[in-house]
Amino acid sequence: MRRRPLLKRLSQGYLRNVAFGDIINMVEGFGFRLVRTSGSHHVFAHPAIQELVNLQEVKGEAKPYQICQFLRLVELYNLRLEDEE
């Protein structure tokens, strides 16, 4: 799914049934980069903030509470989505 439609869907509260690959694409679209993977945990960092984003894949989907944590960081730090190619 493209980033902007997914962001709109997530901002409306639809946090379930989000493909893990789609949320990874979204996180990277906000400037986060994968710094390590430990088991099922994928940890992302952003150069401008100290907080990390932790995401887990369960049956091909992202955990809703982790998506919510990510969206709070986006709002708190007023992060902007990069344009897609």
CATH number where 45 lies: 3.30.920.30
Cross-strand partners of 62: 57
| 16-59: pLDDT as tens digits | 999 999 999 999 999 999 999 999 999 999 999 999 999 999 99
What the block records as the tokens of 77 is 């730090």
Q: Is residue 20 part of a domain?
A: yes
**Count: domains in the chain:** 1
| pLDDT for the residue 82 | 86
* 85 assigned to some structural domain: no
Q: What is the pLDDT of residue 84?
A: 65
Longest dimension (CA), the chain: 32
Decide if 84 is inside a domain: no
Domain membership of residue 70 as a residue range: 3-76
Nearest residue to 71 (alpha-carbon basis) of 17, 1, 63: 63
In a domain, 19, yes or no: yes
pTM of structure = 0.92
Partners of residue 61 on adjacent β-strands: 19, 58
* Beta-bridge mates of residue 57: 62
Confidence of residue 83 (pLDDT cuts 50, 70, 90): confident
pLDDT at residue number 85: 55
